[in-house]
């Protein structure tokens, strides 16, 4: 039983990176596909499409920071439950935010391709989604300190 | 390309602004077909079936109605998308309604054959033949305008009403589908509408009409008056 609890603790420590990486991969892939499509239809401005398509990669970076913070607390029988709860749920939040951010970025690329003047405004929905990922990131760090 | 090429494909297609203000199609058919080759083989086949069902210009001059009805049912059964099935039903219902209104305008009685057309409302239409709007005025709000145009012989206005109705329906559907196969179908159908509208040419129509009249007259064609006023 003790080993299972420790294992769950490690799952919690690594979940933000693993799930964040899954989400970022899907999100960047979706946004990247949209960027590639837009390049076929426009004559210039490719750089901004490629640049904005990398937006969903931030979630895996948040995951890495959370992983180091949680692992620094030490995985023991006393901390495992807290690590598992905070780590897993943060990972899920990061994964979904990255996937949906990728879709928001794809929509932004499609809109700004047809109407370049709305580029800045069209990124707003993706930026709002980023905000939710930041909430999960910051409060995971804050709450993580209460584990020990 | 990959099964899910919808994001790349749909962002690679130029935006279609409007129907009646378009002077040319936003992308040529050749380029459109090149872009559509990003779709998987199965999706391409589904798209071809939908296009061949929904566009008259894909049909031969000699059309057998029963074969067409059978083709519609087969295509509909092969699609695994409820949204596309609904779209096909709506489009075929529209054709059935217009055909019924034309027949009524010509003074013909209700069809006697139960399966006289395709779509999902042909039986209902047959049962409501006596109604001016075939009992579908609320479901298809453009019907009274079509009846009015038929009564007044306003062919161009009638064509515009029908094209606008299809355009509006596709635009409404596009709000629910942004990056999926349905969105691709909607784009292609809208492209076809623009292609059809921009291809309308008075002079070509005159030549075509004259050619049809001459074919119909056969050996009496030489008796046709000549000159631009003919």
CATH number at residue A58: 1.20.120.610
CB A110 within 8 A of CB B13: no
Report pLDDT for B75.
84
Q: Do B8 and A36 touch (CB under 8 A)?
A: yes
Output the six-digit token pair for A76. 């023991």
CA–CA distance, B190 with B170 (Å, rounded to integer): 7
Question: Chain B: nearest CA to A108, how far in angstroms?
Answer: 10
pLDDT for residue B56 is more than 70: no
A69 touches B at CB < 8 Å: no
Report pLDDT for B138.
86
> Could you tell me the residue range of the domain that residue A113 belongs to?
2-144
Q: CB pairs below 8 Å between A and B: how many?
A: 40
pLDDT for residue B116 is more than 80: no
Q: Do B179 and A106 touch (CB under 8 A)?
A: yes
3 state DSSP class of A145? coil
List, as ranges, residues 95-154 from B with C-beta within 8 Å of A.
Answer: none
Q: Do A103 and B179 touch (CB under 8 A)?
A: yes
pLDDT mean across residues, chain B: 85
Closest by Cα among A119, B31, B142, B16 to B133: B142
Q: B17-39 burial by CB neighbour count: b if 16+ within 10 A, else e?
A: eebeeeeebbbeeebbeebbebb
* Residue B212 maps to a domain: no
Report pLDDT for A144.
92
* Residue B49 maps to a domain: yes
pLDDT mean across residues, chain A: 94
* Residue B216 maps to a domain: no
Element housing A41 (H / E)? helix A2-41
CB A30 within 8 A of CB A106: yes
Between B202 and A137, the more confident residue is A137
pLDDT for residue A100 is more than 80: yes
A38 touches B at CB < 8 Å: yes
* Residue B225 maps to a domain: no
pLDDT category of residue A18 using cuts at 50, 70 and 90: very high
A114 touches B at CB < 8 Å: yes
* Residue B55 maps to a domain: yes
pLDDT for residue B2 is more than 50: no
Q: How many domains in chain A?
A: 1
Q: How many domains in chain B?
A: 1
Nearest CB neighbour to B14, from listed A36, A41, A109: A41
CA–CA distance, A126 with B116 (Å, rounded to integer): 52
Report pLDDT for B62.
66
Q: What is the arithmetic mean of pLDDT over B92-99?
A: 90
* Residue B211 maps to a domain: no
Report pLDDT for B143.
92
> Could you tell me the residue range of the domain that residue B33 belongs to?
6-199
Longest dimension (CA), chain B: 61
* Residue B31 maps to a domain: yes
């Amino acid at each position: 039983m003790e080993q299972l609890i420790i294992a769950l603790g490690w799952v919690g420590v690594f979940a933000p990176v693993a799930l964040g990486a899954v989400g970022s991969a899907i999100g960047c892939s979706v946004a990247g596909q949209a960027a590639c499509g837009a390049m076929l239809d426009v004559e210039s401005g490719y750089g901004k499409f490629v640049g904005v398509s990398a937006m969903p990669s931030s979630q895996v970076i948040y995951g890495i920071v959370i992983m180091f913070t949680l692992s620094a607390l030490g995985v023991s029988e006393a901390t495992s439950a807290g690590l598992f709860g905070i780590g897993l749920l943060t990972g899920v939040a990061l994964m979904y935010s990255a996937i949906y951010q990728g879709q928001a970025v794809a929509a932004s690329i499609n809109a700004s391709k047809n109407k370049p003047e709305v580029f800045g405004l069209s990124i707003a929905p993706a930026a709002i989604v980023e905000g939710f990922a930041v909430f999960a990131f910051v409060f995971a760090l804050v709450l993580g300190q209460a584990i020990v | 390309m990959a099964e899910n090429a919808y994001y790349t494909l749909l962002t690679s297609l130029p935006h279609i602004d409007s129907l009646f203000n378009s002077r040319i199609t936003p992308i040529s058919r050749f380029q459109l077909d090149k872009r559509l080759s990003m779709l998987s083989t199965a999706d391409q086949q589904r798209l071809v079936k939908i296009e061949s069902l929904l566009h008259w210009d894909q049909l031969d001059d000699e059309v057998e109605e029963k074969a067409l009805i059978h083709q519609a049912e087969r295509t509909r059964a092969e699609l695994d998308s409820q949204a596309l099935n609904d779209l096909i039903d709506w489009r075929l219902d529209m054709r059935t309604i217009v055909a019924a209104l034309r027949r009524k305008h010509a003074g013909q009685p209700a069809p006697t054959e139960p399966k006289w057309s395709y779509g999902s409302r042909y039986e209902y239409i047959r049962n409501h033949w006596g109604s001016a709007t075939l009992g579908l005025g609320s479901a298809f709000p453009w019907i009274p305008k079509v009846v009015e145009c038929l009564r007044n012989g306003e062919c161009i206005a009638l064509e515009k009403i029908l094209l606008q109705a299809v355009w509006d329906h596709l635009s409404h559907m596009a709000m629910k589908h942004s990056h999926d196969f349905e969105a691709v179908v909607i784009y292609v159908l809208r492209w076809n509408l623009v292609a059809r509208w921009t291809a309308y040419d008075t002079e070509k129509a005159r030549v075509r009409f004259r050619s049809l009249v001459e074919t119909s007259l056969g050996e009496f064609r030489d008796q046709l008056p000549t000159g631009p006023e003919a």
